[in-house]
Structures are given as structure tokens and as C-alpha cells.
């Protein structure tokens, strides 16, 4: 199975390390299940209230391309 990793944090007060930590947790999970990472996407200091986030939109665009 091919999967995408999407990591985000919403506030300028949060650390950039939050993204790396989220991605590492996801990478371990993917490895444990024998899956393949098709792409990694992220948005830093952007609210999740809207889907108009560059990383999220990039992921969705890639999904549509298969």
C-alpha cells in the first residue's frame, strides 16, 4: 500500500520540531506495516480551519494524479 504523510501545526508559538516529530512517528508506523511512502507534505503555522493550505493542496493534487 502506498500512503502519504501529512504533518501540520497551527500556531507560530509551536516549534518546527513538531513537524519532524509527527513525520517520524508516521514513518515508523508505515515501516511497521510494510507500506510505501508516496510523499510527505507539511504546513507550518497554518490553521486547520481551512483546506486552503499549500501542503494539503499539494497532497490532494498528487492524490488526484494517482
How many contiguous H segments (helices) and E segments (strands) does the chain have?
Answer: 2, 2
Share of the chain above pLDDT 90, in %: 73
- Cβ burial, residue 10 (10 Å; 0-12/13-18/19+): middle
User: Which cell goes with 37?
Assistant: 511512502
Q: Is the pLDDT of residue 46 over 90?
A: no
How far apart CA 64 and CA 49 sit, in angstroms, is: 22
pTM: 0.86
Kindly report, residue by residue over 8-22, the tens digit of the pLDDT: 988 766 666 789 999
Q: What is the radius of gyration, based on Cα positions, of the chain?
A: 12
Q: Is the pLDDT of residue 61 over 80?
A: yes
Q: Is the pLDDT of residue 66 over 90?
A: no
Q: Residue 57 belongs to a domain with what CATH number?
A: 3.40.50.1390
Query: Which residue range forms the structural domain that includes residue 34?
Result: 2-65
Count of structural domains, the chain? 1
Amino acid at each position: 500500500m502506498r500512503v502519504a504523510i501529512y504533518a501540520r501545526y497551527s500556531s507560530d508559538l509551536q516549534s518546527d520540531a513538531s513537524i519532524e516529530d509527527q513525520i517520524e512517528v508516521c514513518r515508523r508506523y508505515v515501516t511497521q506495516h510494510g507500506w510505501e511512502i508516496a510523499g510527505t507534505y507539511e504546513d507550518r503555522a497554518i490553521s486547520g480551519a481551512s483546506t486552503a493550505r499549500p501542503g494539503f493542496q499539494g497532497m490532494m493534487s498528487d492524490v488526484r494524479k494517482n
